[in-house]
Amino acid sequence: MKNNSFQNVDEYISSFTLAKQKILNKIRSIILEAAPDAQEMISYNMPAYKLNKILVYFGMAKNHLGFYPTASGIQNFENELNNYKTSKGAIQFPLDQPLPKELIQKIVAFRVNNDSSKTNSALNNGFLLQLSAPARRALENAGITKLADLKKFTEKELLQLHGLGKTSLPKLKAAMESAGLNFLKK
């Protein structure tokens, strides 16, 4: 590796020998095939792929290719990773073995699904984004993840949720009114 600070993935890959470039281009294409909408970037000075959050990273080492699908990517595929050295958030693919294309694609697809399901359920309609983290958690812990869920509650009942304060009510009320919804009246 010639450079300590890369501007893009092409620059990163070109800093290695031709043999290593071939492996790096292979994992790059496997990731992009599994996550075609992912944004390619450099993070922690290595290639990274992002949707709402970083999905995976990869990086070349002396004797292995490091693949970093975060802890959830490791935990969910630990039975299929027995042939590889792993840690909490990393897998080492030996350079003298072919890359396990199907396994990498399954892990990336899992990370894509994990990334988008959190966004779709927890941040539905964006109304939760307007709230403080404690207020968001209070609603999520009560099973309120959609704007329509709020119409089952009175304002008083919502204020009893730990973490939801009076400053959250006007934001919730405005979001509900814009959707033609109202709090429950008792």
**pLDDT tens digit sequence for 119-150:** 444 344 467 777 888 888 888 888 887 878 88
pTM of the model: 0.63
Do 163 and 94 lie in one domain? The reply is no
- The mean pLDDT of 49-53, rounded to a whole number, is 89
Do 137 and 115 lie in one domain? The reply is no
Of 120, 152, 170, the last residue of a domain is: 120
Domain of residue 106, CATH code: 3.90.1150.200
Instruction: Establish if 163 belongs to a structural domain.
Output: yes
Do 32 and 81 lie in one domain? The reply is yes
Do 15 and 100 lie in one domain? The reply is yes
Please state, for a pLDDT cut of 90, what percent of the chain lies above it.
Answer: 52
Count of domains observed in the chain:
2
The residue range of the domain holding 53 is 9-120
Do 113 and 27 lie in one domain? The reply is yes
Do 115 and 139 lie in one domain? The reply is no
Helix, strand, or coil here: 54? strand
